[in-house]
Amino acid sequence: MKSLFFSLALLCAMAVNAQKIQTVSFWVGGVCEMCEERIENTLDVKGVKVAEYSLENHKVTITYNTKKLNEAKLHELLNKAGHDTASSKASDDAYEKVHGCCKYRDPEVQKAHQHGEGDHHDHDDDHDDH
């Protein structure tokens, strides 16, 4: 009986050790709280433990299980949601689907958000895609 209990405990310990948890941080294009929400929601997938996006430095920090995901897949998910990352660019089609106030590639939109103007837009108008 002791050997069965020991074997079970050993198997549980091996299963826990088999999960490799890693944290990465990289740049992601975004300009507003709606971008922040979209980025974090995009990363709400199996294998991601925590994902937080900072509008201040445009970086996302992700803690994930490397047995379920890899960093390239994380970039791919963000690109499909319309966001450029440090190592890859969203397709034009994916980028066009983000709301007008979220057009982080547009210098005028960036400028408006830097001066606080973009924070007061009504995000509920004209965007059925969110």
Per-residue pLDDT, 12: 57
The pLDDT > 90 percentage for the chain reads 69
Three-state secondary-structure class, residue 27: strand
Domains by residue range for the chain, with CATH? 18-120 (3.30.70.100)
pLDDT by residue (tens digit) across 23-42? 999 999 999 999 999 999 99
Read off the tokens for 70: 């890899």
The torsion angle over the Cα atoms of residues 62, 70, 59 and 42, rounded to 10 degrees, is -70
Looking at per-residue confidence, does 46 or 121 come out higher? 46
- Percent helix, strand, coil in the chain, to 5, is 45, 20, 40
Residue 59 confidence (pLDDT): 98
Q: What was the pLDDT predicted at 14?
A: 57
